[in-house]
Chains A and B, each alone.
Chain A
C-alpha cells in the first residue's frame, strides 16, 4: 500500500491488514490440507483399491460451516465499523440524490451521494468537474480555478464533484478514497488530510482512450504555503484564466499532457462557463 495521507486511510489499512491475516490463515489451512494429502495419500503403483468409504461427517461439516460464519460476521462487523468511522453512513453525504435536481439548482448546501463525514460549512469547499481528460477544481470562496488541487493540511475538505461528459472517478490512492463523478449528478467526498505531500489524482473509471492519462496532483500543504498559493492566484483571476490550465497542468505530468493538449481548447470554454456560473451565484 502507498503511504496513508489521512487518519481514515490508516483505518482502511488496519482493515486491510486484518483481512489479509485472516485470508492468509484460511489459505494456509486449505493449501496445507491439500499439499499434505498430495504427499501423504498418493496411490502406490499397482494399487487399484479404493480409499475408505466415507460419505461425510455431520459434526465436521457443522464445524466448517460455523467457523466461516463466525469469521464472516466478525469481518462484516469490523468493516461496518470502519465504514462508519469514515462517515459512510453520514446522513448528509451518503444520501442519494435524484439526477435532475442538481442540474436545476446548483447551490452549495445540498446533499449528495458520496463518502466521508460531512463537515458542513466548516470545510473548505472545492467544486470538481471531471471531463475527458482533465480535472478542473474551482474554489467558490475565492473564485480560483485550477487544474490541480491544493488543500491545507489537517483541515476538512469537501469536494463537490460532477462530470461534464461521461463517468469518471476521483481517486487518490494515498487517501484510499474513490468516488465516481456522474454527469448530471453531484457526488461528494470529504476528508481531512494529515500528511503533507504531493499525491496523484487518478481517474479510475474508463472514460475513453486517454483514460490512463487523466491525472492531476493533490498538494497537501501547510497553511502558509497554501495561503501563498491562494494569493498568487487570486488577484489575476480573469486574466489568469487562459493560463491556469496550461501552467498548472503542464507542471503535473508533461509527458501525458502533450499527447492531448488539443483537448484543452474546449476546456477553456468550460472554464469560462463555470466562472460565469459562480459569479452569478454570488450576486
Chain B
C-alpha cells in the first residue's frame, strides 16, 4: 500500500513480487492475480481432464472407480468454467480496461480487490471437497437435483458455496467494469472510439449482472433442500426438479457468452494489430456483442429439449437459439475481412487468432445443429455435445485467451516471449485439440452418452484416439510454461509499443507504471487506424520513449 502513496508521476516505480500476494487495489496487480490464479486452475482442471481421458481409454472402469470418476468430472467442468475461463476474462478486463480508456484505475478499487479475493477461497474450498465425507460433488457441473441431493451432501454443499463465492466475485467485478467503461473514459474518447474489447466487456458485464443472481437464487434454494430438508426441487416432497434446470440454465446459457464475449473482444483487438489493417465493420462488431447478450438471455431452454417442456416452447427456444448465428456470423465474417488483404505478421498471437477463428466456427456450427430440436433429441447428453462445447470453450475461448496472452505479454512484463516456443505451443494445441475432440462428434452420433466411466466396447477405438489427443494437449502446456519462465527471466526487453499498435495501453511504458500514464494520455488516433500514415509514423518518437527506460526494474 505504501508504494502507492509514494509513487510520483516521474518515477517508474515497479511492483515488488510480494505485492501480488496482498490485498492490493491496483487494477494491474489484480489483473495479474486473476490471470495467474486462473492459469493455476487451468493446470489443475487440465490434469483432472487427463484423469478422465485415461479412464476412458478403456471401456471398463479400471483406472478410477465410477464413483470417483463422477467427482473428477464434476470438478473438471466446474474448475474449467468457474475458475479458468471466467476469471481469465476478468483478468484481461481488469488489466486492460483502465489502460485502454486512459484512466489510472477502476471505479471502485477496493471492491475490485475484494472481488478477486473471493476467488481463491472458492477454488481452494472446491478442491478440498475431495477430502470430505462422501467425496466431492458428483452430479456434474450442472448439479441437477434430485441426484445432487442424494449423493455426497457435504461435497455438494461446498460446491454450492464455492460457486456462490465465485458468482459474487463475478457480479462485483461486472459492476466495476460497467462503471469504469461508461463513466471514466478520457474526455476525447466516445463510445465509438473505444477499443472493441471494452464493448465486449460492456456486453459481458450486463449479462453477468442480469443472470448470475438467478443462479445464486437457484443454488440457495438447492442448498435449503440439501441442508434444511425443504423440497423446492425434490419431487419426493412435491418439488419440481425441472424448475431447477430452468433457473440453472437461465444463468448458464448466458454464462457461455460470458465466457466467449471477452475473447471476441480480445480477438477484435489482436487481429488488426498483426495484419496491419483496421477492423472491418467496427460498429457491426460492437453492436453484435449487445445482440448476442440480448439473445443469450432468451434461449436457455435449448439445454432442456428432452427434459420435458411443451412442444411450442421448444420451437420458440429453437428459433431464438438459431438467431444467435446471425450476430456471431457478422463477427466471424468481419474478422475474416479484416485479415483479407492485410499484411499478416505470422507470429504467435496471430496464429492463435487464426486458430480461434477456425475452431470457433466449427464449434459454433455444431451449436446451431444442436439447436434443431429433432436432432438435439438424438444427441443431447452425448459426446456430440461434449465435442461442441470443447470446440467453443477450448478452441474458442481458450484460444482467444492465449492470443490475448501472447499479445499483451510484452505489455504486462516488459519482455518479449520466445516466438519458437509460442509457435510450438500453438501447433501442439491445435493438433491435440482436433485429435482429441473431433472423434467425439462421431462417438455421440453413434450412441455414446456422456458422463460415463464405463462404456460399450464398440466405442473403444475412437476413445483411444481422443485420449491420445488429450495427451498431446497436456504436452502443449510444456512449451507454454517454459516460455513464460524463460521469457520472464531472459526475454528481450521491449519498448512501449513493440507491435506498433494504436490503442492507449501501448502509450505507456511496458510494464505500465503504477498509475498507468505519465500525465494525461492523448487520443491521437482511433483504435484501429492502420494504413493511414503510419508508414512514416515513428512510434518511438511520438511517445518519446526508448526501450531502456523501463527496463531497469521489470521483474
Indicate if A touches B (C-beta under 8 A): yes
Beyond known contacts A26-B365, A51-B531: 15 more, CB 8 A cutoff? A11-B374, A30-B333, A37-B340, A43-B344, A53-B529, A53-B530, A55-B282, A60-B337, A64-B333, A80-B315, A99-B240, A179-B306, A182-B307, A184-B238, A211-B70
B234-256 vs A: 1/0 string, CB under 8 Å?
01101111100000000000000
A212 within 8 Å of B by Cβ?
Answer: yes
B337-365 vs A: 1/0 string, CB under 8 Å?
10111111110000000100110011001
Which stretch, B28-36, B453-461, B468-476, touches the partner chain A? B453-461
| A residues 187-218 in Cβ contact with B at 8 Å | 187, 200, 202-213
A positions within 8 Å CB-CB of B: 1-2, 11-12, 15-16, 19-20, 23, 26-27, 30-31, 33-34, 37-38, 41-43, 47-57, 60-61, 64-65, 68-69, 71-72, 75-76, 79-80, 82-83, 86, 88-90, 94-96, 99-100, 113-115, 165-167, 169, 171, 173, 176-180, 182-185, 187, 200, 202-213, 256
CB-CB under 8 A for A51 and B342, given A16-B369, A27-B361, A212-B66: yes
- Looking across the interface, which residue of chain A has its beta carbon closest to that of B447? A173
Number of A-B contacts defined by CB within 8 Å: 291
B421 within 8 Å of A by Cβ?
Answer: no
CB-CB under 8 A for A207 and B306, given A30-B332, A31-B361, A53-B529: no
CB-CB under 8 A for A209 and B70, given A65-B330, A115-B377, A169-B306: yes
B325 within 8 Å of A by Cβ?
Answer: yes
CB-CB under 8 A for A43 and B373, given A205-B381, A209-B66: no
Which stretch, B138-146, B166-174, B407-415, B513-521, touches the partner chain A? B138-146
Cα–Cα, bound, A64→B144 (Å): 40
Expressed in whole angstroms, the minimum distance between the Cβ of A129 and any Cβ of chain B is: 14
- Looking across the interface, which residue of chain B has its beta carbon closest to that of A30? B361
CB-CB under 8 A for A72 and B325, given A34-B339, A34-B358: yes
Number of interface residues of B (CB under 8 A): 97
**A43 touching B451, Cβ below 8 Å:** no
- Looking across the interface, which residue of chain B has its beta carbon closest to that of A43? B343
Contact of A169 among B333, B361, B375, B381 (CB under 8 A): B381
Expressed in whole angstroms, the minimum distance between the Cβ of B75 and any Cβ of chain A is: 14
Please name all residues of chain A whose beta carbon is closer than 8 Å to the beta carbon of B375 when the two chains form the complex: 12, 15-16, 19, 79
**B281 touching A61, Cβ below 8 Å:** yes
Expressed in whole angstroms, the minimum distance between the Cβ of A173 and any Cβ of chain B is: 3
| B residues 300-331 in Cβ contact with A at 8 Å | 306-312, 314-315, 318-319, 322-323, 325-326, 329-330
**B151 touching A176, Cβ below 8 Å:** no
B220 within 8 Å of A by Cβ?
Answer: no
**A68 touching B329, Cβ below 8 Å:** yes
B positions within 8 Å CB-CB of A: 61, 65-67, 69-70, 138-140, 144, 146-147, 150-151, 235-236, 238-242, 275-284, 306-312, 314-315, 318-319, 322-323, 325-326, 329-330, 332-334, 336-337, 339-346, 354, 357-358, 361-362, 365-366, 368-369, 372-375, 377-378, 380-382, 445-447, 449, 451-456, 500, 528-532, 534-535
Cα–Cα, bound, A165→B234 (Å): 10
- Looking across the interface, which residue of chain B has its beta carbon closest to that of A115? B377
Contact of A23 among B308, B311, B368 (CB under 8 A): B368
CB-CB under 8 A for A166 and B341, given A2-B446, A49-B276, A212-B452: no
**A176 touching B146, Cβ below 8 Å:** no
Expressed in whole angstroms, the minimum distance between the Cβ of A168 and any Cβ of chain B is: 10
**B146 touching A166, Cβ below 8 Å:** yes
CB-CB under 8 A for A94 and B310, given A206-B451, A209-B70: yes
**A30 touching B330, Cβ below 8 Å:** no
CB-CB under 8 A for A51 and B311, given A15-B372, A41-B344: no
**A82 touching B147, Cβ below 8 Å:** no
Please name all residues of chain A whose beta carbon is closer than 8 Å to the beta carbon of B377 when the two chains form the complex: 12, 115, 176-179
Please name all residues of chain B whose beta carbon is closer than 8 Å to the beta carbon of A23 when the two chains form the complex: 365-366, 368-369
Expressed in whole angstroms, the minimum distance between the Cβ of B114 and any Cβ of chain A is: 35
Please name all residues of chain A whose beta carbon is closer than 8 Å to the beta carbon of B329 when the two chains form the complex: 64-65, 68
**B326 touching A209, Cβ below 8 Å:** no
**A43 touching B345, Cβ below 8 Å:** yes
List 8 contacting pairs A-B, 8 Å CB cutoff, sorted by A: A34-B339, A38-B344, A42-B344, A51-B276, A173-B446, A182-B308, A202-B447, A204-B306
- Looking across the interface, which residue of chain A has its beta carbon closest to that of B336? A33
Contact of B362 among A27, A55, A83, A88 (CB under 8 A): A27
**A2 touching B447, Cβ below 8 Å:** yes
Please name all residues of chain A whose beta carbon is closer than 8 Å to the beta carbon of B279 when the two chains form the complex: 55
**B140 touching A95, Cβ below 8 Å:** no
**A203 touching B449, Cβ below 8 Å:** yes
Please name all residues of chain B whose beta carbon is closer than 8 Å to the beta carbon of A94 when the two chains form the complex: 310-312, 314
**A180 touching B343, Cβ below 8 Å:** no
Expressed in whole angstroms, the minimum distance between the Cβ of A250 and any Cβ of chain B is: 17
Expressed in whole angstroms, the minimum distance between the Cβ of B314 and any Cβ of chain A is: 7
**B278 touching A206, Cβ below 8 Å:** no
- Looking across the interface, which residue of chain A has its beta carbon closest to that of B351? A38
- Looking across the interface, which residue of chain B has its beta carbon closest to that of A31? B358
Cα–Cα, bound, A94→B305 (Å): 11
**A19 touching B369, Cβ below 8 Å:** yes
**B276 touching A50, Cβ below 8 Å:** yes
- Looking across the interface, which residue of chain A has its beta carbon closest to that of B319? A76
- Looking across the interface, which residue of chain B has its beta carbon closest to that of A213? B454
**B369 touching A72, Cβ below 8 Å:** no
List the 8 closest A-B pairs by CB distance, nearest first.
A212-B452, A94-B311, A53-B531, A184-B235, A173-B447, A113-B308, A51-B277, A209-B66
